[in-house]
Structures are given as C-alpha cells and as structure tokens.
Amino acid sequence: MIKNNLKIALRILFKNKLFSLVNILSLSLSMAVGVILFTGLKATHDTDHFHPELNQLVRIVTQEINQGEQTKWATAPLPLATQMKSVSFVEKTVKVRLAGKYNLQTDKGDVPIDIKFSEPSFFDVFGFKLLSGNAQSLTNNSTSIFLTEKTAKKIFGNASALGQIVQFESLGSYTVGGIIQDPPLETHLPLEAMLSINAAETLEKKGAISNISQNWGDFKNSAIYARLKSEDDLKQLNTTLQNYNRKMDKSNLQFLAQPIEDITPRNNSIKNDPNAGVDWSGIKTQLILILSLTFLSAFNYISLTLARAFSRAQEVGIRKTIGATRRQIIGQFLMESILVSLLALLFTLPFVHMLMPYIPEMDVAFSWDTTLIFGLLTYAVITGLVAGAFPSWLLSAFQPIQILRKLKNIKLFQGVAIYKALIVVQFSVTIMLMILVVILADYEIKNSATISSIVPPNVLTLDLKGEKYENLQNEIGQLSQVETTLATNWFYKPIKKGKSSVTLNDKILEINYVSIDPKTIETEGISLKSGQNFPKNMPKNIEQYVLVNEAAAQLMESKSKTLLGQNLLLDSAYLQVIGIIPNEIIGETIPLIYRYLPNEIATLTIKIKPNTELEVTKAIQSIWKNNFPEKTANLYNLKDDYKSSGERLGFIGFFALIVMIIAGLGILGIASYSVETRTKELGIRKILGASKIKLVWAVTRNFGILLLVAGIIGVPAGLFGGDLFRQDLGSQVDLSFINISIGFGSVAIVGLLTVLSQTIRAGQIKPVKILKAE
C-alpha cells in the first residue's frame, strides 16, 4: 500500500510541477528557521560530549553564604585543588585560571585573545587534543603558549605558528609551543590560548596579574575540575568536600561537585558561568518556536492544497466508487504532504546556510551524525503530517454521489475564521518588519550621506589604552603633518560615554557624559548657545565646572538659560553649569554632559594635512612605541570608523522578504479557494448585470479588509520597534509618515497583487457553464 501511495504521490507532484514547486519552496522557507533552532538545541544537548569518561568528570562549585544569603559560583579557589589530590577516589584534578581577554600585539593592531592558565593534566581530564607540542611544557617552560587551530590561523594565517613569538600587553612575550585541536562540539570551557599555571605565578610576583594562587577568598576567576575513579563516587566526594569549608571575613565558603553533564543546560542559580548555554526555559521557548514554525509551514501547504481541492474531488469520488476506504484516501494525501516536506528539506538546508551567518551569536556548524539526520527527517515528517492532516481529512469525507453530481456546490468548511486570523498575523508581522527595514534603510542612507559630507577624511583617532595623554599629545602635535590634536571622548559623536546620577531641584536623572579636554571647544571653533567655555587653567584633580548640550538642558529645565550658573549634584559632588553647547553636529540629540576628567579620556583625535596619512601614521606609531613599548598603537581613520557595515539592515531586509513571500503564498491559496467556492454566486451576479470590475471587487474586498486589519496591528508594532531603534541609534531614526507609509504600502501592494492574481478570474466567469447543472 505504501509503495502504491508513493508512486501515485510522485506522479501527482510531477504532473502539477508549479503547484509542487510553490509548496516546496513555501515549506522550505518556513522550515529553515526551525532547522536552525533545532541545530542550536542539538548543539546545546551535545555540549562537552567529546570528553572521555564524561560521567566521571566533575566541576567544583563554590557556595558562598553571606549574611544568610546563599550564592553558587561556577568557580572555586585554586588552593582547594591541592587538598583534593589526597582524596583516594579522585583520579586526577586540573586547575584552570580564567584570565580573560588580553591584547596580542601585531603589525595590524591588537587582537584580543582569551587567555587561560592550566597544567598538563588538562589534556588528561578533558577531551581536548594536542595536534603538536608536549603538554609537559606547561610545567617545564613558563614562556610556552598553546594556541587553538582557530586562534593560530587568526594570527598567522596559513603560516606555521610553532616556534613563533607572540607579545601580549601586560603579560609579556611567549613562544608558541603547541597547537590545540578545535573541539568537535560546543563546550562550556572555550579555548583560544593557554599558558601554564607556573607562568601565572611568575606574573603574580611581577604584579602583572592579581595574586589568587594561594588565596581562598579570591575564587571568581579560577575553576577546578576532577575525574573520579567511578561515577558512583560523586556522593562521597560531596561529603568529603564538606571538610574543606572555609570561614572568611564576611562570608562562609562551601564546596559542591557538579557533574560536567549537568552544566548544560544552564542552571540559573549558578553565577559566573557565561558559556553554559541556554537554560531550560530557553529550550522550551525554542521548542515552542519550532512548533509555531511547523504550523506556519503547514498553513501555506493547507491553503494551497484546499485551493486545488475541486480538481482532486473527482479523483476522490472515483476512487471511493471503486472501493477505496476513507483511511486509504487519507493515507494517500498524507503520503503526498510528507513527500513534499521531505523534498522541501533539500531546499531548506541551503536556506539555513544562507541565514546562519546573519543570526547573532549563532556560530553552530552542522555536525552530520545519526542524531541530526534522524532529527531533521523527523521534523520534516511531522511538518508533512501536520500540513496534510486537515486537507486529507476534508477531502476524504467527500461522498461520491455528491461529488460527481454537483461538484461546484461542495463547501469544504463553513467558515474561514482561522485562516483569516492567520493571514492577519502573517501580514501584521510582515508590515512590522517592512516598516523597520524602511526606517533602518532611511537611517543608513542619511547617516552615510551626512558622514561623507561632514566628517573629513584627514582625521585619525588614537586609542590611549588607559595611558595619560599630555606628553603624547605634545609630541604628536609637533609633527609637521599634524594640524591639531584633541584629547576627547567626543568628536562628532561620543566615542566613549559614561553615565552619572544628576540631582537638580529635587529632580533626579540618569544622564550620559563624555570627557573632553577644555581646549576641544576652542580648537574646534564651537559657538556656545549660552554661557562660556571651561577656564584655561582648570585643575586636573578637582572637578568644578561642566558644560551641557541643549538636549540635557531641556531635560533638566524648561528654559535652558535658567540652568546657567546653577549647581548640579553630579553623583556625589556639586558642579556648576557654565555653558550650553549645540547638540552634536550630525544631529545626535542624546542629552550629554561634558566633563573634564583627564583619567577617563580614552582617545586622541588628530587632524592631519591632506595626503599625509601614511607618513603621519608611521611617525605616530614610532612616538607611541617610544612611550609605551609594551603596547601596540591602535590608530584609525575616523571616517572609516564611522562606516556602517549594514549587516543588521541586510539581515532584517532578507528576513522580511522571506516572511513576505510566505505570507503571499498563504494568501494566494485562500484567494484561489475563495474564487472556487463563490463561482455560483458570481455567475448569478453576472446574469443580474454585475460588471467584471464589480465581480472582482466582490471577491477582493474581504482580503483588502484583512490587510487593513493587519495594518492596524502591524503599524503600531513597527512604530514601537522604530522607537527602540531611535533610543539606541539616536534621533536620526526617522519615524515619519512617509517611512511608515512606504513600509505598509509595499506589503499591501504585494498582498493585493497576489489576491488579484486569483480574484481577477471572477470577471472571466461564464454563467452558462457555471449554472447549467442547475
């Protein structure tokens, strides 16, 4: 029976090529996002499953009790590892110090690398493999560093990394002594580079890093793992760990063993565990999304199948006449829907590969194994069953006599409320996304044009990396190619902002601030709206005055002039407002306070003469090296730094296009079905004198109403999303009537054209053919 159903399904799909292709593409577009979510779930499930003897691996968790409150931390004090080595049922322990990111200095600028300090047992306990090098060098050689394949390629490209010397800010230079194979699966302990624990102790003595090697109280930057002789020893280990409880000055520390398998999904009660993946709530949310997308995929298939119901009704009637049961008819239609879904899976995978690079924080590759293949096939089959269930149930209920006598009088169902609701939801989402796309496109175009016209190409920015700027500024300012140098966290737009609590007349506000040198305003020739600039000889250690922009002044006072001379309570100090300056040149209207905080100034802005960038860059790098030989100069062209990548716009636009196509396909089927079911009514109307235009309008009107309802929902949602963008990107995000109209209008036009492609047939109806059976 299955073989015969499959043959019939293949013949029908081949016979109706266009219908089949539309169904397959519709399903594949919807299924693509579901497959991405499924791949992410699988990656979560497989996290750390490449370690040998996984059921015997544990991580030590610290439970901190402070004033009666208990907090669990995914880290543990390093001295505890020494104590655990004497436990008989602990086979091996490994210490891992989490140093964080340090800048690796290269000719092309700094490359931030995540550093971990560990010991040779790391490669015995875990499943990380060394492609080259000897793990014992982590003990014997404190100047040896191991890099992962990915990190080595990022730094050295295709050249061999072994034996190469790398220089880190604050940490010094090291020789690459080994390459660590990239793990085959996700892990809660991601690696980029590894140094030895001995190297950490050496750096502690130099004062380059904090001293935690023998400190029980400083446990938030180190982790301890162990491999037990048997998984049954876990309970005994937790009992033993109670012997190592520590009483600190303000808290008590207790220790627990957590199986590595239990780290993922994330346990929200355990802090300091950033790479543990999603929690169970997130997994449930993803499962709900997958289920929703399955129904979304099914909806378009159902609508298109029902649109062709009448062409299949005669087939059903004949098959029933010659003895086919309803169960057999259902089986036939389900076989067709499953086959379409499986074929859609072939198109889904290319769509997945196209979408994945644009999805934030989605760095999961396909790892072809039995679980993934089985999961994808199961997802496709379930989608096919869901999509085919309703049409097969309806079509199989046809009675042969009814079908063969009065085919046009058949109605599959009395109402289409569910379909109407789904159409409204689909088009509401599409309208919202299209409005956001138009708003962002308008922002990108205007921003690019403004930057091109205002920001000069001959301006460089130098990252100070926490160093004092005065001597550096003087030396750079003496270069013949340099016109001016500005010490500021602001230039056309804030480069680095802080936030302070401002109290004025019992009004408490949170307002952003930027740090600038007093010379900035004068050098740039900025005309204040009112008041005066900072005094020339301002003290560096005591802050007395502030400037505010117009937006901040309006926020604090109804009339900006009254703000001058008043004292603000800025955090814990009273400062006088002495001037109000215009909002930023490129239209940024975020309220800002301008402060002189020399220690917070992060950049030097350097104006140079035209066509001297290459020459002056070398000179500045030389000056920097003389002053700070242990750090790399990060020097950028300001205009290049402002250029937008457009990735966000591209992804949202692509996603909106997909949703629009899916919504269009869905309404296509319903419109076709609507015309088929109303042919008798339309025939009578034509006999009574209705024109072609009136007939088309009679069928199209209801769909127009649905699109208007979708607009009532989608337009406010788009405005809400646009307002969020405005808060993030600034006032240049334009929520004008024109942008909203373009977003809504483009979706409405596509929807109406799709409907008209079917409803226009209403005007071609021939009453004689329609009503001759009556």
Q: Can you give the three-state secondary structure of 722-746, one letter per residue?
A: HHHHHHHHCCCCCCCHHHHHHHHHH
Helix (H, G, I), strand (E, B) or coil at 51: coil
- How crowded is residue 484: how many other Cβ atoms within 10 Å of its Cβ? 14
More reliable by pLDDT, 93 or 441? 93
Residues of the chain with pLDDT > 90, as a percent, come to: 13
Cβ–Cβ < 8 Å for 560, 551: no
User: CA 158, 161, 163 angle in degrees (round to 5)?
Assistant: 150
* Mean pLDDT of all residues in 407-429: 62
Beta-bridge partner residues of 96: 223
520-579 pLDDT tens trace: 777 777 788 888 888 877 777 788 888 888 888 888 775 555 788 888 888 778 888 888
Cβ–Cβ < 8 Å for 301, 387: yes
CA 588, CA 586: separation in Å to the nearest integer? 6
CB proximity list for 343: less than 8 A, separation 6 or greater: 13, 20, 24
Lowest mean pLDDT of 2-11, 84-93, 466-475, name the range: 2-11
Torsional sign, CA 626, 200, 152, 75: negative
Say if residue 237's pLDDT is above 70.
yes
Say if residue 409's pLDDT is above 50.
no
pLDDT the model gives residue 129: 93
Task: List C-alpha distances in Å: 139 to 170, 201, 623.
Answer: 21, 12, 38
Say if residue 413's pLDDT is above 50.
no
Preceding amide of 77 cis, omega within 30: no
Residues of the chain with pLDDT > 70, as a percent, come to: 80
Termini Cα distance of the chain: 39
Say if residue 405's pLDDT is above 60.
no
* Mean pLDDT of all residues in 229-248: 89
Task: Output the six-digit token pair for 443.
Answer: 């922002």
CA 514, CA 550: separation in Å to the nearest integer? 15
Helix (H, G, I), strand (E, B) or coil at 251: coil
Sheet holding 482-487, edge to edge: 482-487, 603-608, 459-463, 635-637
pLDDT the model gives residue 147: 95
Say if residue 255's pLDDT is above 80.
yes
* Mean pLDDT of all residues in 70-92: 90
More reliable by pLDDT, 180 or 453? 180
Task: List C-alpha distances in Å: 632 to 110, 112, 207, 386, 462.
Answer: 6, 12, 21, 59, 11
Task: Output the six-digit token pair for 409.
Answer: 């009088």
* Mean pLDDT of all residues in 499-526: 79
Lowest mean pLDDT of 69-83, 153-167, 583-597, 726-740, name the range: 583-597
Mean pLDDT (the chain, rounded): 79
**Residue keyed to tokens 């956001």:** 436
pLDDT the model gives residue 645: 45
* Mean pLDDT of all residues in 431-458: 76
pLDDT the model gives residue 117: 94
Q: For residue 41, how many C-alpha atoms fall within 13 Å in the half-sphere facing its CB?
A: 21
Say if residue 34's pLDDT is above 80.
no
**Residue keyed to tokens 């875990």:** 126
pLDDT the model gives residue 417: 62
Q: Which of 244-248, 315-319, 768-772 has the highest mean pLDDT?
A: 244-248
* Mean pLDDT of all residues in 743-752: 86
Lowest mean pLDDT of 105-114, 328-337, 658-667, name the range: 658-667
Say if residue 455's pLDDT is above 80.
no
From the list 255, 309, 221, 263, the residue with the least C-alpha distance to 87 is: 255
pLDDT the model gives residue 493: 63
Say if residue 298's pLDDT is above 80.
no
Beta-bridge partner residues of 172: 168
* Mean pLDDT of all residues in 471-489: 86
- How crowded is residue 670: how many other Cβ atoms within 10 Å of its Cβ? 26
386-400 pLDDT tens trace: 777 777 777 777 666
* Mean pLDDT of all residues in 323-336: 81
- The total number of residues written for the chain in this structure: 774
Per-position b or e across 432-446, b if 16+ CB within 10 A of its CB? bbbbbbbbbbbbbee
pLDDT the model gives residue 58: 94
Q: Which of 89-98, 102-111, 328-337, 408-417 has the highest mean pLDDT?
A: 89-98
Say if residue 408's pLDDT is above 50.
no
From the list 572, 565, 569, the residue with the least C-alpha distance to 547 is: 565
Longest dimension (CA), the chain: 103
Q: Which of 27-41, 225-239, 565-579, 724-738 has the highest mean pLDDT?
A: 225-239
pLDDT the model gives residue 120: 92
More reliable by pLDDT, 770 or 30? 30
Give, for 111, the enclosing helix (H) or strand (E): strand 109-118
* Mean pLDDT of all residues in 378-390: 79
- What is the reported pTM? 0.64
From the list 759, 769, 641, the residue with the least C-alpha distance to 307 is: 759
* Mean pLDDT of all residues in 686-694: 76
629-676 pLDDT tens trace: 777 777 877 766 555 445 555 655 666 666 677 667 767 766 776 776
- How crowded is residue 156: how many other Cβ atoms within 10 Å of its Cβ? 16
pLDDT the model gives residue 414: 44
CB proximity list for 474: less than 8 A, separation 6 or greater: none
